[in-house]
Homo-oligomer: A and B are copies of this chain.
């Protein structure tokens, strides 16, 4: 499975795997793909350093990358406390009431909220970059808009390719104009932040919009047939995130969450602003229902919503409060029905890809029978 981009990066298969887990990222790269570590959960630079060291020790010299979240709009001199102060009291009360309704216990005294949204803030992302540029990363991806010009320059000076996620052709063109190298076209069916254009329509639109820049297709890809379909649409590779969540190398916060993912169907996700304030696809839960209920206060804009719910999400995860327990995940969750190693998942993708090519050739009468 070779495209211009896969050749450029020296990988065997044009399969990019986004994951918050270092063991998953390393395994994807070892399997012949390209592992991309999501940095948003790291608030302490030392933790990121520790995990990049781990990847270096386990990636067997294969290339890998880092995904940060730098907001397109820069807000100068705003601290987390300033942002906290913008949260209305009614919203805080709604969080308290909802948690109380489900009997969600408090965190222990002094116990930090495990998952903070501060990674969204530019100063945090910049600290992550200061760490990451000490490692031989080959790709820097940004999940929110194009990275700032100085970051793109710094990456290019170090020979690091820059990728940015886009939910529309217009968005993709903006990234191209900013000087990025790769567009990740994130379809409606994808987990995490998404727009409303489905991959089948978005992928070729993004390809046309930014050619000759390469496009990776994201959203709805969890089988080799789907990999083949995305490449047929003009993508130079695929970007998979959800599929790795139920691999044996993944370290989800809770077994209950893994069970929920394994049981969920493609109709069990929702595109909701409950998590960050921007529409993001995730498991539908009684928590997302509460935020999406017209009778409630509704989610705040980013970054307020993320700060508002960070501690609540930690409590829900820690105490495995099943009706409220969720995670960003795409519609592809419907085919995540067993826990397997990254290598097994990868083998499935590459074998399915070959089968799909065979099938298409038969339909096209290309004589390969």
Interface residues of A (CB under 8 A from B): 1-3, 14, 168-169, 187-189, 195-202, 204-205, 219-221, 223, 225-226, 228-234, 265-267, 294, 331-332, 334-335, 353-354, 356-357, 359-361, 363-366, 368
Contact = CB atoms under 8 A, between A and B. Distances in A.
B198 A226 contact: no
Given A2-B363, A198-B199, A221-B200, A266 B205 contact: yes
Contacts of A168: 266-267
A294 B298 CA distance: 13
B201 A360 contact: no
A267 B187 CA distance: 12
B233 A219 contact: no
Given A196-B267, A225-B233, A231-B360, 14 more contacts: A168-B267, A169-B266, A187-B198, A197-B331, A200-B219, A200-B229, A204-B223, A204-B226, A205-B334, A229-B230, A229-B233, A232-B356, A354-B364, A357-B366
Contacts of A204: 223, 225-226
Contacts of A226: 200-201, 204, 233
A196 B365 CA distance: 34
10 contacts: A1-B363, A2-B365, A168-B266, A198-B198, A198-B331, A205-B266, A229-B229, A229-B230, A231-B360, A294-B294
A334 B234 CA distance: 17
A275 to B, nearest CB: 18
A366 to B, nearest CB: 7
Contacts of A366: 357, 361, 368
A169 to B, nearest CB: 7
A357 B363 CA distance: 10
A363 B235 CA distance: 11
A366 B353 CA distance: 12
Which 10 A-B residue pairs are closest in the complex by CB-CB distance?
Answer: A200-B220, A189-B198, A229-B229, A198-B198, A201-B331, A229-B232, A357-B364, A201-B220, A228-B232, A199-B200
B353 A14 contact: no
A268 to B, nearest CB: 11
A334 B169 CA distance: 10
A365 B168 CA distance: 30
Given A267-B168, A334-B201, A361 B361 contact: yes
